[in-house]
Amino acid sequence: MPRKIREARECPRDWTPLGKQLRHTHLRTVEVDLCPRCNGIFLDKKEIRKLTGDRSLNKLLTKYLGLDSDSQLVCPNCGGLMDIEDAGDVRVDVCLDCEGVWLDAGELERLAAADPAEFRKFTPQKIEELLKAKEIRREEHRQAIRSLFRGLGRP
H or E segment and range at residue 86: strand 82-87
My answer on whether 63 and 82 are in the same domain is: yes
Range of the domain at 105: 1-121
**Contacts with 61 (C-beta within 8 Å, 6 or more apart), sequence order:** 48, 85, 87, 92, 94, 101
Mean pLDDT of all residues in 84-101: 85
Residues 99, 127: one domain? Answer: no
Asked if 81 and 150 sit in the same domain, the reply is no
* DSSP letter (8 states) at residue 59: H
Q: What is the mean pLDDT of residues 30-47?
A: 93
> Could you tell me if 34 and 52 lie in one domain?
yes
Query: What pLDDT sits at residue 1?
Result: 40
The string over 105-144, giving b where at least 16 C-beta atoms fall within 10 Å of a residue's C-beta and e elsewhere, is: eebbeebeebeeebbeeeeeeeeebeeeeeeeeeeeeeee
Say if residue 42 is in the same domain as residue 31.
yes
The chain-wide mean pLDDT, for the chain, equals 80
34 shares a domain with 108: yes
Higher pLDDT among residues 134 and 25, named by residue = 25
Per-residue pLDDT, averaged over 43-69, amounts to 76
- Looking at beta carbons, which pairs linking 27-30 to residues 24 or more positions away fall under 8 Å? none
Residues 1 and 55 in one domain: yes
Say if residues 119 and 54 touch (Cβ distance below 8 Å).
Answer: yes
Residues 12 and 77 in one domain: yes
Q: Give how many domains the chain has, as a whole number.
A: 2
- Nearest Cα neighbor of 45 from 81, 120, 96, 89 is 96
